[in-house]
Each structure stands twice: as C-alpha cells, then as structure tokens.
Amino acid sequence: MGDDFTIQGETSVAVSGDWESRGEAVFPLIRRLARQHPSVRTLLHLGDLRWVPARRVGKQRLHLYDGFLPKLDAELGRARLRLLLTPGNHDDWSSLQPAFVAHPERPRRLTPHIWALPRGLRFHIGGRTFLSFGGAVSLDADRGTAEIPTDDDMRRAAAGGRVDVLLTHEPSNAGIAAVERALEAHQRWSADRLDLSASSRRRVDHLVDQVQPSLSFHGHMHVGGRVDSGGRRTVALSVIGMPGNTVILRLGTLEVDSLETAETESNS
C-alpha cells in the first residue's frame, strides 16, 4: 500500500470507533455495511479493536477474545472491505511500536484485510488527504509509554502541513459535551492518569492547530457527539453497541452521515 490508498470508484468510506473485540456486535455491523452500502470498500477504524498477535502454544497459534481477529478478517473478506486501523491504547503497542519505528512510512499488515497505520502516516483516498495519529493515554491503568503520543510525534506529524481529515484515538479539547462529561467523571480514575490524559489531549490540540483539518474524528471515550467551531468539525464516535459508533463519510463533500441517515438516502 502506497501513499494513495484509493480504490477505483471509491466515493464514500465508513469510520468506526472502539470495537473492544466484541464480535457479537461487530460482525452484524460489518454485514449491515456490506448489505446497505456495497460501494463502501474501506473502513477507517479509530482504535481499540483490542488487537493482540496470536500466541504460540506448542504447535498451535491461539487468538485471544474468542478468536476475534481471524473471525473479523473473515467477515471483512466476505464483505469486500479493508480496515485501516489508527491504533488505540488497547491495541498491542509492544508489537506495533517496533514495526513502526523500523518503518514509519509503512502500514503494518496484521491480516489479509487489516492494516495498522503508523503514528503520523499521511495518505489519500478519493482525492482527500488523511492523517492518522494513533495512541492515547489509558485512564484506567498504566500500560506503558508506547501507547502515548509524544511532542516529537506531534511535530513530525504536523510537518507535512494541512490535511482534509485527521484520525485520532485520543480526543482533542473540541468542546463536545459528552466527552467533557465523561472526563469529568474523575472519581473513576486517578489524578495521575487524568493529568497524563490532559497533556495528551493538548498535544492533539496542537496538532489540529498545525494541520488545520476540515474534519477530525476520534474515539477512546466511548461516547458520541459532534461540534463545529471556526469552520472545523470534530466528530466523536461511541463504543460498539451504542448509537454513533459508525458513520459514512462522503469524500466529495466531507459530509458525515449516520448509518440511519445514509440508509434513508440510499433507499430514496
């Protein structure tokens, strides 16, 4: 896969928030996309598949979470979809980081239909420029530093100038009410984790200021919402099983439709 990821004739893509390896909800969603939006060939995922590599036990390769990853790949294959992952804090950075450090320009192919995107990767689909900036602070536990974007990461990602669409797992401080309410539930998390999260969100704010995306997407907080400020739109996508987990992005206009709205229009 090169800088231009366009599949010929691609005019819309799907964008999804956290899936958390919940196959019972994810697999019906993929079938629904294939049935109701057959022209969509790319799914941009904002992290927390809970991807981990298979573990070798004797001569066997064992996948966690009830074999979610190979089952997901099979569903994607049947649906003729590819999934481009902007990794979240619950994806396995101990495996991803060495590959990204060795080849920061190269997506890592996890399965035949799933690629993980290095932090700061720029790419094109349908004439639109995208920037993937994965990772976030885990609020519930310390899972090491690899998951957290750094200032150097932010500067490298910003160096290429403006983009049409920014894809992050970590939220910015865009003013989405549901995100702010989730963060204000501070009794759930330690002060240290909240401080780290605040620093990481400010880093995303700086990146937004530098690359001036017309549209930004993020996940992580398991809540949905949208805000339009100063000509920039930010969309938070919720966790799988909740309204607002997956949307359709029209590449020509950068309009964002809920699945329900998109379905109504496609059937009219």
CA distance readout (Å), 3 to 15, 117, 138, 250, 259: 19, 12, 30, 20, 28
pLDDT at 149: 96
Tokens describing residue 97: 């980081």
Percent with pLDDT over 90 in the chain: 81
Grade residue 134 by pLDDT with cuts at 50, 70 and 90. Answer: very high
* Rounded-to-integer distance, Cα 91 and Cα 110, Å: 12
Percent with pLDDT over 70 in the chain: 94
Grade residue 46 by pLDDT with cuts at 50, 70 and 90. Answer: very high
* Rounded-to-integer distance, Cα 165 and Cα 125, Å: 10
**Domain locations in the chain as residue ranges:** 12-267
Question: Is the confidence at residue 91, as pLDDT, over 90?
Answer: yes
Between residues 58 and 152, the one the model is more confident about: 152
pLDDT at 45: 98
Closest CA relative to residue 99, chosen from 111, 86, 83, 110: 110
DSSP 177: H
pLDDT at 1: 45
Per-residue burial over 105-117, b = 16 or more CB atoms within 10 Å of its CB, e = otherwise? eebbebeebbbbb
Tokens describing residue 187: 């009794």
CA distance readout (Å), 151 to 1, 135, 157, 201, 202: 27, 13, 10, 11, 10
Please provide the average confidence, as pLDDT, over all residues in the chain: 92
Contact 212/164 with Cβ under 8 angstroms?
A: no
Q: What is the DSSP string of 4-43?
A: B-PPTT--EEEEE---TT-HHHHHHHHHHHHHH-TT--EE
pLDDT at 159: 95
Please give the CATH number for the structural domain made up of 12-267: 3.60.21.10
pLDDT at 9: 87
Cα torsion angle, 202, 207, 209, 215, sign: negative
Q: What is the pLDDT of residues 97-109, one digit of tens each?
A: 999 999 999 999 9
pLDDT at 53: 74
Question: Is the confidence at residue 231, as pLDDT, over 90?
Answer: no
* Rounded-to-integer distance, Cα 200 and Cα 262, Å: 33
Q: What is the pLDDT of residues 68-80, one digit of tens each?
A: 999 999 999 999 9
Do the bridges between strand 165-168 and strand 128-133 make them parallel or antiparallel, or are there none, so unpaired? parallel
pLDDT at 55: 73
pLDDT at 99: 93
Closest CA relative to residue 147, chosen from 87, 97, 89, 207: 89
Provide mean pLDDT across the span 121-138.
96
Q: Which helix (H) or strand (E) holds 226?
A: strand 225-229
> What global pTM score does this model have?
0.93
Question: Is the confidence at residue 251, as pLDDT, over 60?
Answer: yes
pLDDT at 52: 80
* Rounded-to-integer distance, Cα 5 and Cα 255, Å: 20
Range in 108-112, 172-176, 182-186 the model is least confident about = 182-186
